[in-house]
Copies of this chain bind each other. A is one copy, B any other.
Amino acid sequence: MTPTTERTGLWLIGAGGSVAATVACGLAALRAGVAGSTGLVTARPELEDVGLADVADLVTGGHDVTTVSLAKRAEELAAAGVVPHDLPRLVAHDLDEASTRIRPGYVVGAENQRDAVERLADDLREFASREGLSRVVVVNVSSTEALVVPHPGHADVEALESAWDAGESPLPASSVYAAAAFRAGCAFVDFTPSAGARLPALEEMAAHAGLPWGGSDGKTGETLLKSVLAPMFAMRALDVRSWAGTNLLGGGDGATLASPDARQSKIESKAAGLEALLGHPVEGPLHIDHVADLGDWKTAWDHITFAGFLGTRMTLQFTWQGCDSALAAPLVIDLARLLDLALRRGESGPVAALGFFFKDPAGLDEHALAPQHDLLVRWARGEVAADAAGGASSR
The chain A residues found within 8 Å of chain B, CB to CB, are 22, 25-26, 29, 35-41, 43-44, 78-79, 81-87, 224-225, 227-229, 231-232, 235-239, 241-242, 244, 246, 248, 283-285, 287, 289, 291-294, 299, 301, 303, 305, 307-323, 326-327, 329-330, 356, 368-371, 373
9 contacting pairs across A/B (C-beta < 8 A): A38-B307, A41-B235, A293-B313, A294-B305, A314-B321, A314-B322, A314-B327, A370-B370, A370-B371
Are A309 and B293 closer than 8 Å at their CB atoms? no
Contacts of A309 in B (CB 8 A): 22, 26, 35, 38-40, 326-327, 329-330
Known contacts being A283-B292, A315-B321, A326-B314, is A225 close to B232, with CB within 8 Å? yes
Which residues of chain B are near A242, meaning CB under 8 Å? 248, 291-294
CA distance A236 to B43 in the complex (A): 10
Which of A284, A309, A314, A356 has its CB near the most chain B CB atoms (within 10 A)?
A309
A182 shortest CB reach to chain B, Å: 29
Decide if the interface of chain A is mainly helix, strand, loop or mixed: mixed
A42–B362 Cα gap in the complex (Å)? 33
Count this chain's copies in the assembly. 4
In angstroms, Cα B173 to Cα A181, docked, is 63
Instruction: Give the residues in chain B near A371, CB-CB below 8 Å.
Output: 370
A323 touches B317 (CB 8 A): no
Q: Choose among A22, A84, A237, A323 the residue with the greatest number of B CB atoms under 10 Å from its CB.
A: A237
Q: Which residues of the partner chain B approach A318 to less than 8 Å between Cβ atoms? A: 316-319
Residue of B nearest to A294 (CB): B305
A244 touching B244 by the CB < 8 A rule?
no
Which chain B residues lie closer than 8 Å to A285 at the CB level? 246, 248, 287, 289, 291
| Chain B residues within 8 Å of A79, by CB | 84-86
A82 partner, pick from B36, B43, B225, B312, beta carbons under 8 A: B312
Does A236 lie within 8 Å of B41, measured CB to CB?
A: yes
